[in-house]
Amino acid sequence: MTIRVIVAGATGWTGSAVAKGVRAAEDLTLAGAVARSAAGRDIGEVLGEAAAGITVVATVAEALKAGADVLVDYTAPQAVKANTLQAVSAGVAVVIGTSGLSVDDYAEIDAAARANDVGVFAAGNYSITATLMTKFALTAAKYVADVEVIDYASAGKADTPSGTARELAERLSDLRQPATSKPVSELAGIRETRGGAVGAVQVHSLRLPGYVLSCEAQFGAPGERLLIRHDAGSDATPYVAGTLLAVRRVREQAGLRRGLDLLIE
Ligand SMILES: NC(=O)C1=CN([C@@H]2O[C@H](COP(=O)(O)OP(=O)(O)OC[C@H]3O[C@@H](n4cnc5c(N)ncnc54)[C@H](OP(=O)(O)O)[C@@H]3O)[C@@H](O)[C@H]2O)C=CC1
Ligand SMILES: O=C(O)C1=N[C@H](C(=O)O)C[C@H](O)C1
């Protein structure tokens, strides 16, 4: 029996690559596709492939009516939480790709997922090399106290910091030894130039044409620095394998799990 998957954001940069990946996988079936502007069209035709017999719908609520095992969300920061809670309350597991959710949002999603005995998986970045950046940075944080995160993205990115940088900073913050830099509250001048605090880690977000998404953990120790950086290219292919791995594993456990490294140990 195949896993029935709804892709929300199926016409987007990432969601279209994921929808194609679902269609190509023998153990997965594309059971629904959500996007507002392509509503009413066959998703296969929208993707430039053979007809799928699946009509794109404008809302997750509508897509859920046909039944599914897993919802994958690559929509927008303002839509992802409601989509997730709708699927969870319908007993459908969720793989969250969309960025922009806060620690409080994730706590609410976790509580709903546990209450409904449903699995939810989220990763700030589903690419293997970005996940390695996080793993290497978490290792470095055991040895070096001072670290800050630099987040580079395109001028039009809807959220700040990126999901990649936010998850990295939260994870670093959990391990963090006290920094030696002066507390931001004690500084003279324009304090915002020191970035925003995600937990105990300062994050600095640049938004410039020319970037897709890059993320950097900069560690400093007396007399030396260590830079651990990931650069995303202009192709969404790197996110597909990790997303499909999460689709295959999300129903193993009720509640929320975060970070692709959990699945590639
Ligand atoms: N975790 C990870 O590894 C990655 C995360 N991302 C994140 O995924 C999200 C999507 O990125 P990207 O693919 O570039 O976005 P795009 O803008 O290319 O695609 C968004 C898709 O979602 C649809 N959509 C947007 N808003 C809604 C809504 N309210 N209801 C239903 N459908 C909606 C769009 O169609 P329409 O507008 O017609 O509705 C489109 O199909 C971002 O938050 C990004 O940061 C991206 C790549 C990797
Ligand atoms: O908005 C994007 O484009 C991306 N967003 C993700 C994020 O917020 O971290 C990651 C991906 O590399 C591209």
Q: For residue 217, report the phi and psi dihedrals to the nearest 5 degrees.
A: -105, 120
Domains of the chain from N-terminus onward:
3-122+236-263 (3.40.50.720), 128-232 (3.30.360.10)
Residue 265 has pLDDT above 80, yes or no: no
Which sign, positive or negative, has the C-alpha torsion 168, 173, 175, 176?
Answer: positive
The rounded mean pLDDT for the chain is: 97
Assess whether pLDDT exceeds 90 at residue 31.
Answer: yes
Rounded CA separation 163/205 (Å): 12
CA distance 143 to 141: 5
- Percent helix, strand, coil in the chain, to 5, is 35, 25, 35
CA of 15 to the centre of ligand 1 (A): 7
CA 41 to centroid of ligand 2, rounded, Å: 27
pLDDT digits (tens, 9 = 90+) for 171-191: 999 987 788 999 999 999 999
**pLDDT tens, 220-258?**
999 999 999 999 999 999 999 999 999 999 999 999 999
Query: Under DSSP, is residue 31 helix (H, G, I), strand (E, B) or coil?
Result: strand
79-125 residue pLDDT tens: 999 999 999 999 999 999 999 999 999 999 999 999 999 999 999 99
| Cα 194 off chain centre by | 25
Using CB distances shorter than 6 Å, the residues near ligand 1 are 8-15, 34-38, 74-77, 79, 97-100, 123-126, 163, 239
Residue nearest to atom 1 of ligand 2 (CA): 157
pLDDT in tens, 125-170: 999 999 999 999 999 999 999 999 999 999 999 999 999 999 999 9
Report the C-alpha gap between 144 and 245 in whole angstroms: 32
